[in-house]
Structure 1
Amino acid sequence: MEHSHSHDHGHSHSVQINKSNQNVFLIGIGLNLAFVVAELVAGLIYNSMALLTDAGHNLSDVASLVISMVAFWMAKKKSSAVYTYGYKKTTVLAALLNAVVLLVAIGILGYEAGTRLARPEPVQGDVIAWVAGLGIVVNSVSAFLFFRQKQELNSKAAYLHLLADALVSLGVVVAGIIISRTHLYWIDPAIGLAIMVVILISTWGLLRDSFKMTIDAVPVGIELEAIKKLIKKVPHVKHVHHVHVWPLSTTENALTAHVVIDEHLPFTRKLDVIAEIKHELEHNNIHHSTIEMAQEAH
């Protein structure tokens, strides 16, 4: 079977953090990292599982923000004769490592919280409330910074996540106040366990998605059959087969496909059809496409 190849490596629709967003991410990372240290120190000094687990929760936010920054930095590195797609895949490996480390931390903290729940120890509820109150301020300020940049996908995700964290901190404040008034010390490890459930749910999703990306599964949010139908809708496309879609990074996707185009069209018109296919794919979150023209079997 005779065939010809057309390759495209454009970036016009890829999701990347622009220069102005980079500063917002740096500020967000700095604020949240400082708060993680404050929660960790206070949790150890005042023996609070709620503060320690919330520190782990906020650390996951810092890791997520750092991963986005790594994606920005890696996207700027040029490809080479060995790494022909550059270093974009490292963002996927970083996400996978982040998920594994968080799961290990959850296991350790979960064991400690369970032990503490069985034998509650005295904690200072007012200290827990004040430190968690600081968390509300940090997360709210960070969320506001990202809200101003929310037209960008990574910033929007960070904004929503930090807003949710502010609500978690509010829950810890309420728990601290209740402990200081009632001396029901079991509330501290109970809140810690509740926060760990929140971390587990989000981390499991991160682990699942990053593992799928690592083995080049179809990216989340893309349906293979829908992509095939999209290509078939382009005028003069008769058939499409051997379609493969995989992630190049946490923000960019690639595709290869064989298409059969109306054989009565001139070659230059066939190239126009391929250009139209690529244009449609770019609008559907596929940034690199390789389309092979093939003759229909008779």
Structure 2
Amino acid sequence: MAGHHHHVDPSAGDRRIAAAVGVNLLLTVAQIVGGILSGSLALIADAIHNLSDALALVIAFGARKIARRPADKAMTFGYARAEVVAALINYTTLIVIGVWLVYEGVSRLISPEGVDGWLVIWIAAIALVIDLITAALTYAMSKDSMNIRAAFLHNVSDALGSVGVIVAGVLILTFGWTWVDPVVTLAIAGYILWQSLTEIGPVIRLLMLGSPVESDADAIVADMRAVDGVQDVHHVHLWMIDEGRNAVDAHVVVTEGDWDRADAVKDAVRLALKGHDISHATLEIECSRHACHDRQLFGEKTAVHAAHNHSH
């Protein structure tokens, strides 16, 4: 995450998202009408997923706007995590849609219904073209933002869904296999669930103040302790501010006899952290004689933990 670089002009990106929202809303209406007229659950499933695409893009658009606000006294780290919250909403929505489609697909397998194959094929073909256009509009931005990546994946899964619907229409026309329609619906649902559950993990990790996936916490501590003048390091917090910024908060104990060069030691520790792609570091310097007594390497004891330990 930390290695990402933003190449897309924000205003150009906004125009792409606005265009993608417009075509997806038009497509949703066409697919729902077509699905009702043809009796195809797979087409309606594709339509609902398309509506979620449009909503995902609207959420992504709003989050991009909010994320550009400068830091203030209410949000001292800035508003960049608005995009992470948007990604969480979008992936959660996809999971709910996937579960609903599984339920509907199984129901249709139990009680099959007639399907108009030609109508299904034509509408799904139009949908596929629009899905591919929308995916192309958001592809470049998806590399730099988990928010836009969530919206992009909505579109990719929808394009695959459209392909599945076309195949179902052809099989229904050729062999009269109406059961293919709910089977394709279940396949679309399975893909949506697999994709969403895979992608939602990093989003939750970031919101839970987890350490960067690509960082080795033990190696970071080892490099801090290896700095000349550092006796020990404790109460280390390592987390992601957003996709592009990692942060460290730690207590650094300066060896006895090196207190007069404490500032130089601190600068050397900061330099060591930059080698681990740490863009923000808050270091509390302690002399060896007055270092914390109740030390733990990562994090620190909260009031709840302290009370729990005391009770024992």
TM-score range, shorter chain: 0.7 to 0.9
Cα 1:248–1:197, aligned 2, differ >3 Å: closer, same or farther? Answer: same
Cα 1:94–1:277, aligned 2, differ >3 Å: closer, same or farther? Answer: same
- 1:184 is paired with a residue whose SS is coil
Which region of structure 1 is more displaced relative to structure 2, 62-71 or 150-159? 150-159
The answer for the alignment partner of 2:309 in structure 1 is none
Shift of 1:65: 3.8
Shift of 1:137: 1.1
Shift of 1:197: 0.8
Shift of 1:124: 1.1
The answer for the alignment partner of 1:193 in structure 2 is 186
Deviations 1:54-91 (A, max 9, x none): 23434444454444434422222233333333444444
The answer for the alignment partner of 1:73 in structure 2 is 65
Cα 1:128–1:48, aligned 2, differ >3 Å: closer, same or farther? Answer: same
- 1:255 is paired with a residue whose SS is strand
Partner AA of 1:128 in structure 2: V
- 1:173 is paired with a residue whose SS is helix
- The aligned runs of 1:1-298 (5 Å cut-off) are 18-19=9-10, 20-147=12-139, 152=144, 162-163=155-156, 165-229=158-222, 231=224, 239-249=232-242, 252-260=245-253, 263=258, 266-281=261-276, 284=277, 286-296=278-288
- 1:198 is paired with a residue whose SS is helix
Structure 2-normalised TM-score?
0.72
Shift of 1:148: 5.6
Deviations 1:156-176 (A, max 9, x none): 776677455434422221221
How many Å separate the matches in 1 of 2:150 and 2:219?
25
- 1:241 is paired with a residue whose SS is strand
Shift of 1:179: 1.1
RMSD, aligned CA: 3.7
Partner AA of 1:256 in structure 2: D
Shift of 1:117: 0.8
How many Å separate the matches in 2 of 1:197 and 1:191?
10
Give yes or no for contact 1:33–1:59 (8 Å, CA) kept in 2. yes
Greater relative CO (CA pairs within 8 A, separation 6+) = 1
How many Å separate the matches in 2 of 1:173 and 1:261?
68
The answer for the alignment partner of 2:307 in structure 1 is none
- 1:266 is paired with a residue whose SS is helix
Give yes or no for contact 1:16–1:251 (8 Å, CA) kept in 2. no
Q: How many residues align?
A: 285
Partner AA of 1:144 in structure 2: A
Cα 1:274–1:139, aligned 2, differ >3 Å: closer, same or farther? Answer: same
Partner AA of 2:274 in structure 1: H
Deviations 1:124-178 (A, max 9, x none): 1122222221222122223333456676456677667745543442222122111
Give yes or no for contact 2:225–2:233 (8 Å, CA) kept in 1. yes
Shift of 1:41: 3.1
Shift of 1:273: 1.6
Shift of 1:247: 3.8
Show structure 2 runs of 5+ residues with no match.
292-312
How many Å separate the matches in 1 of 2:231 and 2:57?
44
